Amino acid sequence: MQLKIHNLRFSYPQQQFTVKADHLDLQPGLTAMIGENGAGKSTLFKLLGGLVTTHQGKITVDQQPLKDFLKTERARKIGLAFQDPDDQFFNSSVKKEVEWELRQLKVPAKKQSETVTAVLKETNLSQQAQQNPYDLSLSDRKLLSIATVLAPNPQIALFDEPMIALDWPSQQLVSHIFTKLAKRGHTILVISHNLDWVAQNVPQVIVMGRGKVIFAGKTRDFLHQPTLVKKSNLLLPKVTRLTMALGINPPQYRL
Ligand SMILES: Nc1ncnc2c1ncn2[C@@H]1O[C@H](COP(=O)(O)OP(=O)(O)OP(=O)(O)O)[C@@H](O)[C@H]1O
């Protein structure tokens, strides 16, 4: 599924800050949205997720305006995991939290149960199924927010800083899940601050700066322009910084 932006303009009431994007085309596959603090990433995330609709211009999903979608139709197509997982939990157990969206979407009971078991296994949360979400560690709460997005199997999934607070094995697990979904043709957008992770795992980037899209394209094409990376106030991957410090040829990124 394609998520497209046409002449988008959005400002918060009584704020100077404006998100401006004339044209953006989010294709199936894995894309990262990166940029300095306050660049507008979370704002664009909310716009693309259909949570904020008071904008000018158009956001379309396969040519249909996102604004026209009914809430259930949008939930079936677009999954969202927030930066702070505590913004999204309200059920009394991990299992019920993953089940909730499936019940809203009227998925048959047997399918619900099979899906919850599979998703908890995939996110390594089977042992915590009966626990209250708020009794989980922050790392497991982040994994739970990802599990709630995976359960309805949306064609488009947006994740705001999913890697924060995850230990290395969980980061590997989540990277594997994203790559697998992308290979199956899902459209996955991940906000990240970690250019090292992006360089190794994500083939496409959208770079935001002061509310504008300053680059959209292949990750390697961005990383091979150190001046542009610097202008975006982003820290180059460690290996590039090391080679620059040593005065040797920088690495050639494959993604
Ligand atoms: N609900 C809101 N009401 C008013 N202003 C907001 C709101 N949310 C964000 N802003 C402002 O919009 C601008 C962009 O914020 P946003 O959170 O989208 O940036 P970001 O790139 O996600 O930043 P970070 O990396 O720090 O999360 C900032 O100036 C911020 O203060």
Per-residue model confidence as pLDDT tens digits over 129-139: 999 999 999 99
Query: Does any domain span residue 255?
Result: no
Domain count, the chain: 1
Query: Does any domain span residue 30?
Result: yes
pTM over the 0.80 mark? yes
CATH number, position 48: 3.40.50.300
Q: Is the ipTM of this complex over 0.95?
A: yes
Question: Is the CB of 12 inside a 6 Å radius of any atom of ligand 1?
Answer: yes
Instruction: Please compute the mean of the pLDDT values over residues 166-178 and round it to a whole number.
Output: 94
At residue 121, φ and ψ (nearest 5 deg) are -65, -45
Query: Does any domain span residue 253?
Result: no
DSSP 252: P
- pLDDT category at 106 given cuts 50, 70, 90 is very high
Identify which of 8, 11, 15 to mutate to test ligand 1's pocket (most ligand atoms within 8 A of the CB). 15
- Alpha carbon distance 4, 26 (integer Å): 6
Identify which of 9, 11, 12 to mutate to test ligand 1's pocket (most ligand atoms within 8 A of the CB). 12
Q: What is the pLDDT of residue 253?
A: 81
Task: Give the structural domain span for 229.
Answer: 3-246
Question: Is the CB of 51 inside a 6 Å radius of any atom of ligand 1?
Answer: no
Closest residue by CA, ligand 1 atom 31: 38
Please name the residue that has the structure tokens 């396969």. Answer: 62
Bridge-based pairing state of the strands 187-191 and 204-209: unpaired
Residues 70-103 have pLDDT tens digits of 988 999 999 999 999 888 899 999 999 999 999 9
Query: Does any domain span residue 7?
Result: yes
User: 192 and 198 in contact (C-beta within 8 Å)?
Assistant: yes
Q: What does the buried/exposed string (b/e) look like for 23-35 if buried means 16 or more CB atoms within 10 Å of the residue's CB?
A: ebebebbbbbbbb
User: 42 and 190 in contact (C-beta within 8 Å)?
Assistant: no
Query: Does any domain span residue 64?
Result: yes
Query: Does any domain span residue 9?
Result: yes
Please give the distance, rounded to the nearest whole angstrom, from the Cα atom of residue 59 to the centre of ligand 1: 20
Query: Does any domain span residue 116?
Result: yes
Question: Is the CB of 54 inside a 6 Å radius of any atom of ligand 1?
Answer: no
Residues 34-78 have pLDDT tens digits of 999 999 999 999 999 999 988 999 999 999 999 999 988 999 999
Q: What is the pLDDT of residue 42?
A: 95
Query: Does any domain span residue 252?
Result: no
Please give the distance, rounded to the nearest whole angstrom, from the Cα atom of residue 102 to the centre of ligand 1: 31
Give 140-146 contacts, CB < 8 A, sequence gap 24+: 141/85, 141/86, 141/89, 142/85, 142/166, 142/170, 143/170, 143/173, 143/174, 144/85, 144/89, 144/94, 144/97, 144/98, 145/81, 145/82, 145/85, 145/88, 145/89, 146/81, 146/174, 146/177
Please give the distance, rounded to the nearest whole angstrom, from the Cα atom of residue 151 to the centre of ligand 1: 29
